[in-house]
Amino acid sequence: MSSVEADFDRLALLDEEGWTANNHYHDLLLSHVPRNCEHALEIGCGTGAFARELARRCQRVLGLDLSAEMIRVARSRSGEFKNLEFQLADAMRYDFPQSQFDFICSIATLHHVDQRQLLVKMRDTLKPGGVLVVLDLVASESLMDRVLDVIGFGVSPMLRLIHNGRLQPPPEVRKAWEQHGKHDSYSTVTQMRALAHEFLPGATVTRQLFWRYLLVYLKPALKPA
Tens digit of pLDDT for each residue in 212-224? Answer: 999 999 999 987 7
> What percent of the chain stands above pLDDT 90?
81
CATH classification of 2-218, choosing from 3.40.50.150, 3.30.460.80, 3.40.50.300, 3.60.40.10?
3.40.50.150
pLDDT at 1 over 70: no
Q: What is the pLDDT of residues 35-75, one digit of tens each?
A: 999 999 999 999 999 999 999 999 999 999 999 999 999 99
What span, in angstroms and rounded, lies between the C-alpha atoms of 205 and 162?
A: 29
Least confident of 14-18, 106-110, 119-123, 160-164: 14-18
DSSP assignment of 22-72: TGGGHHHHHTTSPTT--EEEEES-TTSHHHHHHHTTSSEEEEEES-HHHHH
For residues 37 and 129, the answer to whether their CB atoms sit within 8 Å is no
Domain edges within the chain: 2-218
The pTM score is 0.92
Distance of CA 185 to the CA centre of its chain: 16
Q: What is the pLDDT of residues 116-140, one digit of tens each?
A: 999 999 999 999 999 999 999 999 9
Reduced to 3 states, what is the DSSP secondary structure of residue 82?
Answer: coil
